[in-house]
Structure 1
Amino acid sequence: MRTRNLKKFCCMLGMAIPVIAAAQQPDMHSRFEQLMFGERQSATVSVRGHSHNDYKQDIPFFTAHYAGMESIEVDLFLYQDSLYAAHEKKEIKQGLTLERTYLQPLASLFEKNGGKPFAEPSKQLQLLLDFKEDYKKLMPPLLSLLESYRFLVDPQLSKTPVKIVISGNMPPAQEFEKFPSWIYFDGRPGITYTAAQQKHLAMISDDLKSYTHWNGKGVPAPDALRRIQHQASQAQMMGIPFRLWGTPESVNTWLTLEKMGITWLNTDHPVTLKEYIGSLASSRYRSAKAYEVYQPSYNSDGKDASNVKNVILLIGDGMGMGHVQAAISANRGQTHMSQMKHIGFSFTSSFSPGNTDSGAGGSAIATGQKTFNEHLSVDTNGNALPRIPSIIRPQGIHSGIITTGDLSDATPAAFYTSHKDRNASEAITESLTRTNDIDILIGGKPGAYQDAGKWQTLASGLRANKFALPNTKQEFVSNRSEKAIYFLSDSLTKPVKDGRGPILAEMLSATIAKLNNRDKGFFIMAEGAQIDWGGHARDMEYTLTETQDFDLAVGEALRFADKDGRTLVIVVADHETGALSLLDTDWRSGYVHGNFASNDHSSMVVPVMAYGPAAQDFTGFFQNTAIFDRIVALFQKNGDEIGESKR
């Protein structure tokens, strides 16, 4: 798929994309740019951030506020008639008062945000005031101070008031009703609160050490786990959240606390917690139901290489081991890929510094030579390289190219043309008016050809090169032409999560039917292009639904391989996208929680899975160029001798 030079296009397109999207249906390049640079998916989550001992931050209040923490904790002492934020009285610093550090900034934000503590209308804020001295000493000056800020805290004066919550040396529950209705308290487990007292409760809190000495790794012991879950459920029955203080800080801790029913996640690092909470909606996915997985016969698997007649190469663009394992988990423990017994790993580096792009990654597989990023099946000097379809064509072997992305994108294009610039979409597409190496091509129409004049010119050239141009799936399936290019409609290239059906599996099956029994065999490259797009968007639902869709195509290939007996199926990736790791999975419910460490390609090795005769040749660790070498060697061994070496 297409991964543009980020620095070159970020500033140019960042502000324009919303306008383009509003004016017309965006082309595939614009959709990709939106994913790469747009806002991440947001949704309601069950946990919120609590800035613990906030006054110790380098920038108190503002660090937590701009990190979206909805609870801010302030320890209070009374000193010279003012309420100061400090953990101990000896730590009191001039100017660090409740009013100056918290209430005055809040008043300014209320004015700026139209009477809200946050610009986001869904966010609310509470100040947890931890009394370090007796409430009888601190409560009167606090109430007096808050009179000047009633517009911030009184629900009768604000639709989104800041909730004032008293903790620490607070009044007993019997005295709650003595205070204004907008004063709330931090309750404790084991106390039976009346209905009237519950109206003053903002939360129930307890010390983690009351239950366990858990260090945040793994999960607490079963007994401690049950006790914490019980207290959390008791608080939830009262309609209020439960909090544990003294908790470790780590992703695993936050995950486990959420599972136990904890709402407020304590942190001394608000910015780090912001990133974690902000990614929750887009990093989780639960599949509604499992799809049926074909069980291979293995009759031809691992047989002698002389049996190979056909090769089906399936490229999951951006698919790493994290993606494969996530797909297995989402489908309740089984996928077509996981039925494949011969497993290898491919190194994906290019000649460019940093990680490969799809141009260099696809070219290495298509030509057997590494090149620079943004190059397309040319060597480092820009000279065109022979590709698998052009090398095997003299032997009477026919080829098909299928993608769920733009047909001029790097991965499919690497198999049918050569160019110094993978982004030269029109030149790449127009090369199809001259090629004689490919029989079937299927993919999205490049954006330039939304222009009627350009499309008519291109279509005339393609027809002159004897390509049929069916407009629908039905036309493609029924068309009897030797050569065909099917440009998929927008509805067939939109994401699976937005309603696209299993077009990759359907078109693979149809292409196999068209190429099977022609001359001496066939080669098909089928690409799951939008796995990569989901990784760039750091969107687990997008990533996983595309990976599962790709796996359905793998299933079609395995079915045919069993039926045919002379077909080798190879599943690879051109690179990994997103640096995806898995934080939590549940095979029983199809749940996956991942973490994308990046929104771009990574340098991780990618899996190679093979099935059928010669599958054993694709095990172990090897460079991505070896995939080309082994495919070509198989066709050379079993067909007529190729007249010219690829070198």
Structure 2
Amino acid sequence: MRKNFWWIAVAWLAVASQQQLMAQEAPDMRQRFEQLMFADKTAGELAVHGHSHNDYEQAIPFLTAYHAGIESIEVDLFLRGDSLYAAHDKEDIQVGRTLEQLYLQPLAALYRANNHHPFADANKNLQLLFDFKEDYQRLMPALIKLLQSYDFMFDHHQSAHPVRIVISGNMPPAELFAQFPSWVLFDGRPNIAYTEVQRQHLGMISQDLKAYSQWNGKAVPPKAEMQKIMQDSQRAKEWGISFRLWGTADNVNTWMVLEKMGVSLLNTDHPAKLKIYLDELNASRFQLVKPYEVYTPSYKSDGTDKEIRNVILMIGDGMGLGHLQTAIIANRGQSNMQKMRHIGFSSTTSYSPSNTDSGAGGTAIATGSKTYNGYLSVDTNGTALPAIPDRIRSLGMRSGIISTGDVSDATPASFYAKNPDRNASEAISRSLLTNTTVDVLIGGTPEQYRHKQPYEQFKNELTKNGFALVNTVADFEQSDAEKIITFMPDSLTRPVKEGRGAVLSQLLNLTINKLDKRDKGFFIMAESAQIDYGGHARDLTYVATETLDFDQAVGEALRFADADGHTLVLVTADHETGALSLLDADAAKGSIQGNFASNDHSSILVPVMAYGPGAQSFIGFYENTEIFHRLMKLLEKK
């Protein structure tokens, strides 16, 4: 009896463990979107850092720049009596605005609180640049005396992570550098021929932009002027020190161009604005290392009036023109979508006052009707609307729905479910128990079926409606079931940047093979769900890799369309996510720098690209509902 009990316990633990593993494969989708939209950005290692110019003129000196993570802070100094004052001109000197009160005392408190680091982030460093507005012979002794009382955070002999001190302005000549404490460094000039010994006392190199150019921060300086700046910045880099230009404009384009020219300290009077730029700098950039070959269509059936037997609708969830251009630039100026000659633009507004969500956006495409955000293929009264698979069944066509996200999420669900709540995942999934118009459904596993017991129960219930339910692509491929649903594991729905692979292309080809030559043709909707996720995260690498993956799947659709001759390919989006614009693009290198104006959906028009018979019907500007109506007009001619 004990032996039997032991085996029962082991079996129970094994089932429980398997259920737990299934449940832990991916986070709850709402939690995931919270993380994507509101997670703090981490800049990581950067080639550029911020320099708070004339920092004492900030409304809150020191602390504004410090809490913006600015790693170089500039203070102009005057000596009055025994005190060093922070001021731009001698007329600006005020009681209480001393170097010690404004900077050293608060810095010392923070330094101690951070376990003898300048910042809580131990990877960040801090530099104080003291610009002498009077003769160094007066100021230097007073400054050194003051700093020695705080030597625990300045002297590299006493601290493993000292705050760097750099002297600028009316500073000693280079031949006197060695006379001062080794932890006191100097701000050099690019036109001075320093000896090797003198270079050891340099903390940075600075120069007025006007010494090179009258550039106003728009576009780029003339080539010869850029080359001179790059030459001087390269010398500073070889010396292992920072290079700064003062007198520069204070905007994103200027910061980008300065970095390209090798300027490593970005001068700013607006630390909080520069913080946003630097914090998101890595997430705003992408470069494709290895481009892929794109398919060149034959165009034999493109734009003709030949009979349409098959339709492949590709939806890049959240994909706008910025996303499309990102893919083109990254792949060295080439994409499969770019090969499609019949192009239109769709407005994605819904009946809700805010920008559309995927529920209303998907419904518009799937049913030809506008509705409220959050609704799935029901009108504003909650009445069910026939979707494309419902309409074409009477035409003898089969339907397949594919997604690289949760298969019960809004976009795929709008093609097979009717529900006034896009978040009702279980009810949406259970609508398949009575669905008679979808033959193939494949995507990520809904949350409630990540546990073994509910999964097996749902699987048994689906058989009553003729559906086979599998959870691997291999089982999907090998199955001979007429109607099949595949709940994919997390490994096949994770982001491309985390190793998903070309799953969408594979699933599209497998679904085509399942439905091709059955009855009187097929309709397939294939969604790249995670372009949208990347937009919510304001992560250009996420956006770019998902869009490039989507483009390769489009290439597979075009190949089939050419081979078949009677297939219409439509490529569009349910909305744009992120309000993505491109700040810089280099197709020769495949590199892009973008900017997300939002972490949510926008009202930006989305492209509609068409290839094959009837493609000419999708040219122009129109509402998203027109995609459905124009498609049905073509199909109902059959």
Structure 1-normalised TM-score?
Answer: 0.94
Q: Which residue of 2 aligns with 1:573?
A: 573
Q: Which residue of 2 aligns with 1:186?
A: 187
- How far apart in 2 are the matches of 1:421 and 1:342? 35
Question: 1:65: which partner in 2?
Answer: 66
* 1:127 maps to amino acid: L
Question: 2 CA distance for matches of 1:24 and 1:325?
Answer: 33
State how far apart, in whole Å, the 2-side matches of 1:181 and 1:307 are. 83
SS class of match (2:470): coil
Q: CA deviation at 1:481?
A: 1.3
Deviation readout 1:572-608 (Å, 9 max, x if unpaired): 0000001100011111111111111111111100011
Mind listing any 5+ residue stretches in structure 2 that lack a counterpart?
1-20
Which residue does the alignment assign to 1:586? Answer: 586
Query: 1:128: how far off?
Result: 0.5
Name the structure 2 match of 1:78: 79
Q: How does 1:88-237 map to 2 (within 5 A)?
A: 88-237=89-238
Q: Could you say what secondary structure the match of 1:75 adopts?
A: strand
Tell me what 1:277 maps to.
Answer: 278
Matched with 1:331 is: 331
C-alpha distance in 2, partners of 1:21/1:103?
55
Residue 482 (str. 1) matches residue 478 (str. 2): no
2:522 — aligned with what?
A: 522
CA contact (8 A) 1:50 1:72 kept: yes
Quote the Cα distance in structure 2 between the aligned partners of 1:317 and 1:261: 38
Match of 1:441 in 2: 441
Residues in 2 aligned to 1:47 and 1:323: alpha-carbon distance in whole angstroms: 26
CA distance in 1, matches of 2:277, 2:254: 12
Cα–Cα, structure 1 residues 24 and 552, in superposed 2: closer, same or farther, change >3 Å? closer
Once the two structures are overlaid, the 10-residue window that deviates more, 573-582 or 471-480, is 471-480
Query: Matches of 2:66 and 2:351 in 1, distance apart?
Result: 45
CA distance in 1, matches of 2:372, 2:226: 53
Equivalent position SS for 1:77: strand
In structure 1, the partner of 2:543 is 543
**What is the identity, as a one-letter code, of the residue corresponding to 1:130?**
D
Q: Which residue type is aligned with residue 416 of structure 1?
A: Y
Q: Residue 303 of structure 2 aligns to which amino acid in structure 1?
A: G
Counterpart residue identity of residue 59, structure 1: I
Provide, for residues 133-167 of structure 1, a one-character-per-residue CA deviation record: whole Å limited to 9, x for no partner: 01001011111111111011111222211111100
1:534 and 1:116 map into 2 onto residues whose CA distance is 34
Q: Shift in Å at residue 636 of structure 1?
A: 0.9
CA shift, 1:361, in A, is 0.5
Any idea what SS the aligned residue of 1:189 has?
Answer: coil
**Amino acid of the structure 2 residue aligned with 1:129:** F
- Counterpart position of 2:460: 460
Superimposed CA distance per residue, residues 307-339 of structure 1 (whole angstroms, 9 cap, x where no aligned partner):
211111000000000000000000011000000
5+ residue gaps in structure 1?
Answer: 1-19, 639-647
Deviates more, 1:462-471 or 1:255-264: 462-471
Deviations 1:326-376 (A, max 9, x none): 000000110000000111100001111111110110011111111111111
Alignment match, 1:370:
370
Which structure 2 residues correspond to residues 399-414 of structure 1 after superposition, within 5 A?
399-414=399-414
Q: How far did 1:81 drift?
A: 2.0
Where in structure 2 are the equivalents of 1:327-366 lying within 5 Å? Answer: 327-366=327-366
Q: Structure 1 residues 85 and 316, CA, compared in 2 at 3 Å: closer, same or farther?
A: same
Q: Secondary structure at the match of 2:218?
A: coil
SS in 2 for 1:346: strand
Q: Is the alpha carbon distance of 1:23 and 1:309 closer, same or farther for their aligned partners in structure 2, counting shifts above 3 Å?
A: closer
Q: SS of the counterpart of 1:345?
A: strand
Q: Secondary structure at the match of 1:469?
A: strand
List per-residue Cα deviations over 1:69-101 (Å, max 9, x = no partner).
000000011123211111100011221110000
| Within-5 A mapping of 1:265-344 | 265-304=266-305, 306-344=306-344
Q: Secondary structure at the match of 2:119?
A: coil
How big is each residue's C-alpha offset from its partner over 1:176-234, in whole Å with a ceiling of 9 and x where there is no partner? 00000110100011222223222211101111000100001111111111110000011
* Structure 1 Cα separation of the partners of residues 475 and 352 of structure 2: 43
CA distance in 1, matches of 2:23, 2:194: 54
User: How far apart, CA to CA, are the structure 2 residues paired with 1:511 and 1:598?
Assistant: 35
Percent of aligned pairs sharing the same letter: 61
Alpha-carbon shift at residue 27 of structure 1 (Å): 4.5
Q: Say whether the 8 Å CA contact 2:132–2:169 is kept in structure 1.
A: yes
SS in 1 for 2:454: helix
- Distance in 2 (alpha carbons) for counterparts of 1:24 and 1:299: 45
Which residue does 1:431 correspond to in 2? 431
Paired with 2:44 and 2:636, the residues of 1 have a C-alpha distance of 54
Could you tell me whether the CA contact under 8 Å between 1:570 and 1:609 is conserved in 2?
A: yes
User: Does structure 2 retain, via aligned residues, the 8 Å contact 1:51–1:270?
Assistant: yes
3-state SS of paired residue (2:381): coil
Classify the secondary structure of the residue corresponding to 1:613.
coil
CA contact (8 A) 1:207 1:244 kept: yes
| AA matched with 2:365 | I
Residue deviations 1:283-304 (CA, integer Å, cap 9, x gap): 1111111111010000011101
The whole-number CA distance in structure 2 between the counterparts of 1:221 and 1:588 is: 21
Q: Which residue of 2 aligns with 1:450?
A: 450
Query: Secondary structure at 2:468's aligned position in 1?
Result: coil
Q: Is the 8 A contact 2:23 2:450 kept in 1?
A: no
Aligned to 1:644: none
Structure 2 vs 1, CA of residues 95 and 24 (structure 1 numbering), >3 Å: closer, same or farther?
A: farther
User: Judging changes above 3 Å, is the alpha-carbon distance between structure 1 residues 596 and 185 closer, same or farther for their aligned structure 2 residues?
Assistant: same
Secondary structure, aligned partner of 1:468: strand
- CA distance in structure 2 between the aligned counterparts of 1:464 and 1:159, rounded to whole angstroms: 71
Contact 2:25 2:490 in 1 (8 A): no
Give the aligned partner of residue 390 of structure 1.
Answer: 390
Distance 2:32 2:63 in 1: 35
State the AA in 2 paired with 1:163: R
Q: In the TM superposition, what is the alpha-carbon distance from 1:62 to its structure 2 partner? A: 0.6
Residue identity matched to 1:516: D
SS of the counterpart of 2:290?
coil
Q: CA deviation at 1:614?
A: 0.8
Alpha-carbon separation, structure 2, partners of 1:116 and 1:43: 18
CA distance in 2, matches of 1:32, 1:440: 27
1:550: Cα distance to partner? 0.5
Q: Using the TM superposition, give the Cα deviation of residue 479 of structure 1 relative to its aligned residue in structure 2, in angstroms.
A: 1.4
In the alignment, the residues of structure 1 paired with residue 617 and residue 284 of structure 2 have an alpha-carbon distance, to the nearest angstrom, of 36
CA change 1:24–1:562 in 2 (3 A) is closer
Q: Work out the number of aligned pairs and report it.
A: 618
Aligned equivalents of 1:31, 1:449: Cα separation in 2: 17
TM-score normalised per structure 2 = 0.95
- CA deviation string 1:425-459 (max 9, x = no partner): 00001111110010000100101111222212211
1:29 Cα deviation from its structure 2 partner: 4.5
Q: Are residues 1:605 and 2:605 paired?
A: yes
- Shift in alpha-carbon separation, 1:600–1:516, aligned structure 2, 3 A: same
Write the distance in 2 (CA, Å) between the matches of 1:514 and 1:146. 77
Q: Judge conservation of contact 2:23–2:447 (CA < 8 Å) in 1.
A: no
Q: List per-residue Cα deviations over 1:398-429 (Å, max 9, x = no partner).
A: 10000000000000000001101000000001
1:240 maps to 2:247: no
- The amino acid that maps onto 2:248 is T
- Tell me which residue corresponds to 1:632: 632
